Amino acid sequence: MSSNFAKQFFMSSFLQVLAREKLVALVHKLHPEPVYLLKTTWHSIKSSLARGTSLKCDVVSELIDRKLLVNDPNIDQQELKIAREKTLQALDRPTILYLMMAQGCNFACSYCPIPALAKQYGEHLLSFEDAVAGIALWQKHIEEQPRDDDPYFLIFYGGEPLLNREVLEKLLPYVSDEQNEGRLPQKLELMLCTNGSLMDERLSKLLAHHKVTVAVGLDGPREHNDRIRITVNGDATFTGIECAIRQLVDDGVRVVASVTITQANIHRLTECPDFLRKLGIAQFGFNLMKGKFLIRELVGGSMEDYCRAAARGILSGLVGVTENEQLCEYQLEKKLTALRNGLPFSIDCTCYGNQIVVQADGNVSNCPFFRLDQGYVRELPDMFRIGRTKTVETWRHRLPLLNDSIVADDGILDGGGCAWSCSELYGDAMARDTNNTIFTKEVMHELIWTLLPREKADALRNGESSHWSYRRIGSL
């Protein structure tokens, strides 16, 4: 390496340095494949850059190869352009159709926005005709995208979708016929999101027949769940939910759980994985409370403290993760998958063009809860595409990668947060979701360290190797 190396090369504006004990992880925010080395080694490299002296070592070559050290500011701009193009291509892929089967619920969970939405828009039930029109609209979107091996998702949602059971039971064979005729992708996953209270044996077997995954809301063991998840009559719900899960599992239905992080369970999240596994839950996801409901549930407590405690609780279940293992908790798995695939961040929401939502009254939106309706599903023009709507185009600027004002900020690992929550909290859908930023930053930073195998970390600390680099299979 020439003597004018330090004058030629400098640190990329997208370099992020994370320190832990004797080690540092150097991460390119646009394609995070971390390089791990001793702090002392990194300090020596920085000093050589500052002094303009030559430094010949394998780790420097690695940093140049990863574009963490660059000799031309245009390299950063080229990398940004590539990352943005890849992200927009992903955002334009219509992977999800939400059919909001019912704008109403027989539960009255204190953190849920559905009761307020039902009061504002009416307790509608989605008609079969509007659901079919929504599927046809989704088909038009899908046909315009190149086919690949990634899955698509059709989600029966609410409110409580089983309040509209008759239409659901008509839709299941209709979707199967459309798929058999090649009008829907073969790799299509059906999901029913329910509180479980209206489940019975006949419906359970029908769901098993159509290979529907059932996502059940359950906020942990009885003492945690029943403090928050109650019926409209104020009754406890745990026993009914547990019975529904056991029925579904016995019938061979894949059951996942949606666990909202509340004041009742936030300090007991480590108990959730084992508890849910014993019920036969295949996977689960932790969800942060959002919007005005978060403020109400915290009863004057700090939102920042809540988010940090939530991150610690989720991460407490992250033990011994290796490259070949799968995580049970959905949010961690999604974020770790993004890191392993060299993506700049795991987008928190699919409202940026990836999904179509057909509301229970037949109107189309990009978000289940934020009703910026684009029109009635059977009256939309043929050229309507959700990704080309003004709402989606505007919301995409919430994503740090696509926003020049914060693109080089530490927040580039932030997945954009929730526009609905920001509208509720700050009166502005485009406001920065500071709560989610705190949560995501803590989680992503911890996950970066899980990519470093223990034996490699020991080798670095003992001076047996100068550095270790995480490389994706595709980059080997």
Domain ranges of the chain: 5-75+450-475, 92-317, 397-446
Pairing of strands 69-70, 10-11: antiparallel
Nearest alpha-carbon partner for 28 in 45, 14, 7, 48: 14
Determine the average pLDDT of the residues in 136-163.
92
pLDDT of residue 462: 94
Q: How does 192-204 read in b/e, with b if 16+ C-beta sit within 10 Å?
A: bbbbbbebeeebb
pLDDT of residue 323: 43
pLDDT of residue 58: 87
Q: What is the rounded distance in angstroms from the CA atom of residue 405 to the CA atom of residue 25?
A: 25
Residue 329: pLDDT band with limits 50, 70, 90 = confident
For domain 92-317, say whether CATH 3.20.20.70 is its number: yes
pLDDT of residue 106: 95
Determine the average pLDDT of the residues in 297-326.
77
Asked whether 160 and 379 are in contact (CB, 8 A), the reply is: no
**228-254 residue pLDDT tens:** 999 999 999 999 999 999 999 999 999
- Written as one letter, the residue type at 317 is G
pLDDT of residue 317: 66
212's tokens? 């529907």
Is pLDDT of 51 > 60? yes
pTM of the model: 0.91
**DSSP readout, 412-438?**
GGS----HHHHHHHHS-TTS--HHHHH
Determine the average pLDDT of the residues in 123-148.
93
**70-107 residue pLDDT tens:** 999 899 999 999 989 988 998 999 999 999 999 999 99
pLDDT of residue 339: 80
Q: Give the CA dihedral 290, 296, 298, 302, nearest 10 degrees.
A: 80
Residue 406: pLDDT band with limits 50, 70, 90 = low
pLDDT of residue 413: 65
Is pLDDT of 364 > 50? yes
**120-129 residue pLDDT tens:** 999 999 999 9
Residue 1 or 370, more confident: 370
Is pLDDT of 318 > 70? no
pLDDT of residue 411: 57
Determine the average pLDDT of the residues in 137-157.
91
Strand partners, 191: 155, 213
Is pLDDT of 412 > 80? no
